[in-house]
Chain A
Amino acid sequence: MGLIFKDETFRDDFTFSNSPEAIRRFPFPFHEDKYMYTVNIEPHVPGPKGSVYEFPIDIDEHYVSDMRDRALVLAEDPLRCQSLPHMLTAEWDLVELLMTSMARDYPEHFSLTRDGDNWHWINRPLGIDQKFIFGDVSTLPYRPMEYITRQCQGDFCLLDQRDGDLWMDSGIVSSQADWSLDFDVGMSFKEWHAPVPLAHEAGVFDRALKFLLMLQQGRPVRRLNWTMTINSRLDTSPENYHKWGTDRTTVTPENVGDKVHLRVELQGLWRLPRSNAIVFSIRAYLIKMKELVTVPKWGRRLHRVLKTLPPQIADYKGLSRYRQTTIDWLAKYDDGLPTSPGCWPE
């Protein structure tokens, strides 16, 4: 059974919404009624059927519209996709990872035939049929990373490993939570994480870097991160802050359910074979408050998490201005009953 792709927008009239099935599979990130930074990294192994963890690369009902939005972002701002020259081998590694995963796990939508370096890729939802030579840039209409990530949900960064550090030397970042590849490209692990509050003091980045430097082929890992977004906008970039920053002032008690979204990033990390680089994928899932509270446990828990969130974290995530309005709205869905451990719906 194939996916049915929705026709919707992530800008202007914001027609994005989640089907009931998409709500049930939303990667709700809070395993308890409060939140603090931790090194919450776990093996990226297959999860329950139908969940966002079922396959290494998750494709969902928003795929076609999501890819249309990425094309719009890139047309306006080509610097969302950048790659330093020494990252070309890693780009090809990424082509292989994404094409083989998508074709294996969604055979009704994608197929890949390999005959040595002669590859044939078919993407039915986007109407693409491409024969190319793996390793030969001239046989694709874009550089390899841009080619495949215009066809795969999520932002991707390719991290070079050298001198005991990771370097963000390549990436495509068009659906980000207020950070910029154009600003961060070429930075080391701690440089690009410098703005995050509290976590440095807790030693989170020392431990995470040590862990990632030893990330092994065949053993990908994942973690969840989260923030909140006003309107279903994927492109909340610093470059376009003038377009979305003021949205935060438009939240009223009446429109919280529609306007305020929890934004969860499923981040995956793989060691790539030929380049020894690491690919860092950041796949954003959006859910409206009125959709989220259809799962009673999530409504109760998000209310409690937001109430107890340290102010530095609320500021960093940019939700201080509408936090109280959202807490007040969610209060209606928190009857004070205990919540069960873990993230899944009851």
Chain B
Amino acid sequence: MTVSTDIPVRVTDIETVAEGVKRFRFATRDGSKLPEFSGGAHTVVTMRDGDTVRRNPYSLMSSPFDGSHYEISVLRTVDSRGGSVFMHDKVKVGSEMMISQPVNLFPIDRRGRKHLLIAGGIGITPFMSMMNQLDREEMPFELYYCNRSPARGAYIDRLSGLYGHRIHTFFDDKREALPLARLLAGQPLGTHLYVCGPSGMIDWVLASAREAGWPDENVHSERFLAPPSGKPFKVDLAKSNKSIVVGQYQSVLEAVEAAGVDAPYLCRGGACGQCETSVIACDGAIHHNDHYLTDEEKRSGKKMMICVSRIDGAGVVLDL
């Protein structure tokens, strides 16, 4: 049985900070302090939309040292799941929501002599709190921040004001390209590299770093995957003795929760490993969409990460 340590909060401020990006500010309903956290951490926001419950992870972007409020930024994406649309269209100042305790899957490696941050678009958010902490703890850093256009780039003025020459921006519509190869070749020994942004960009940066001879230990990335949609399938929960159907736009984890079964989770994006579940039997193919299981584990078909992975077939029996 999991003891819930979720925090009841109220939305105290909403601001549009760039094209399609809104910033939400949360404070506790009883006025108590929110826990401090470490740069790069996220919170899972529970959205109650009628009978539908969605839980999405968002990077915390306010100061890790200010417990009076948390801030997240949400990019409105017209996907079929509707989490960001709900946040943009239905959440108002005064709305009451639940958020999880901070969790950090993208922490600063404090052994770094320098921290090189590469952000694409909304991937800026984990770096907001990270830079706050790097600055406060006097650790050298530089941010390379890529956007389609100045209008799409959130927080550029604020960051330039705070960190000056440490902030470098690049805009597609001005045909400015991130000089990645040169950047990776010219860093002092002991530099750690962090990247967050669209999947293609992360792949590019990771591959370039490896090619340039960077040790894996010095390269860090964070990608939250929205649970992919797919054909509905049946799931039998062996321990709870329940049989459920996972809908087209639902994850297994969401269907399990809707059935009232308690399943552990932290990131809900295929990264952390908390929701690893044993597969007892499977009639179909498991589509492993996570970044956690090893290739060997995926091939074995004995485990799946129920926050993002699906079955292509009739159904699956899980040890839940």
Contacts and interface: CB of A to CB of B under 8 A. Distances in A.
A217 B5 CA distance: 9
Contacts of A218: 5, 35, 101
A87 B37 CA distance: 16
Given A86-B111, A161-B107, A274 B3 contact: no
A136 to B, nearest CB: 12
A42 to B, nearest CB: 11
A171 B237 CA distance: 44
B154 to A, nearest CB: 25
A268 to B, nearest CB: 16
A187 B272 CA distance: 23
Contacts of A87: 110
Contact of B64 (A45, A161, A274): A274
A219 B101 contact: yes
Given A219-B3, A273-B35, A274-B64, A163 B217 contact: yes
A210 B37 contact: no
Contacts of A273: 35-38, 64, 102
Given A273-B35, A273-B36, A273-B37, A214 B110 contact: no
Interface string A207-223: 00010011011110000
A108 B32 CA distance: 24
A219 B5 contact: yes
Contact of B35 (A163, A217, A276): A217
B103 A216 contact: yes
Contact of B133 (A45, A163, A274): A274
Given A217-B37, A218-B35, A273-B37, A86 B110 contact: yes
A78 interface: no
Contacts of B3: 43, 45, 219
Nearest to B111: A86
A85 to B, nearest CB: 8
Nearest to B41: A276
Contacts of B65: 274
A160 B111 CA distance: 10
Given A218-B5, A218-B35, A218-B101, A276 B217 contact: no
Contact of A160 (B103, B110, B216, B266): B110
B101 A274 contact: no
Interface residues of B, number: 26
Contacts of A163: 216-217
Given A273-B36, A276-B107, A217 B102 contact: yes
B101 A162 contact: no
A101 interface: no
B309 interface: no
Contact of B38 (A210, A216, A275): A275
Contacts of B274: 214
A89 interface: yes
A89 B35 contact: no
A269 to B, nearest CB: 15
Contacts of A160: 110
A126 B193 CA distance: 46
Given A219-B5, A219-B101, A274 B38 contact: yes
A239 B64 CA distance: 40
A217 B103 contact: yes
Contact of A216 (B5, B107, B109, B110): B5
A274 B134 CA distance: 11
A80 B137 CA distance: 27
Nearest to B220: A162
Contacts, number: 55
B59 interface: no
A217 B101 contact: yes
A214 B272 contact: yes
Contacts of B191: none
B273 interface: yes
A276 B101 contact: no
Contacts of B133: 274
B251 interface: no
B273 A210 contact: yes
A93 to B, nearest CB: 9
B104 interface: yes
Contacts of B41: 276
Nearest to A275: B38
Contacts of A161: 107
Nearest to A210: B273
B196 to A, nearest CB: 16
Nearest to A217: B101
B261 to A, nearest CB: 19
A25 to B, nearest CB: 24
Nearest to B267: A214
A161 B38 CA distance: 12
Interface in B25-78: 35-38, 41, 64-65
A219 B4 CA distance: 9
Contacts of B109: 162
B215 to A, nearest CB: 10
A276 B38 CA distance: 6
Interface of A: 43, 45, 86-87, 89, 160-163, 210, 213-214, 216-219, 273-276
Given A162-B217, A216-B5, 11 more contacts: A87-B110, A162-B107, A214-B266, A214-B272, A216-B101, A217-B103, A218-B5, A219-B3, A275-B38, A276-B104, A276-B107
16 contacts: A43-B3, A86-B111, A87-B110, A89-B137, A162-B111, A163-B217, A210-B273, A213-B273, A214-B272, A214-B274, A216-B101, A217-B102, A219-B101, A274-B37, A274-B64, A274-B65
Leading 5 A-B pairs by shortest Cβ distance? A86-B110, A276-B38, A273-B36, A276-B107, A218-B101
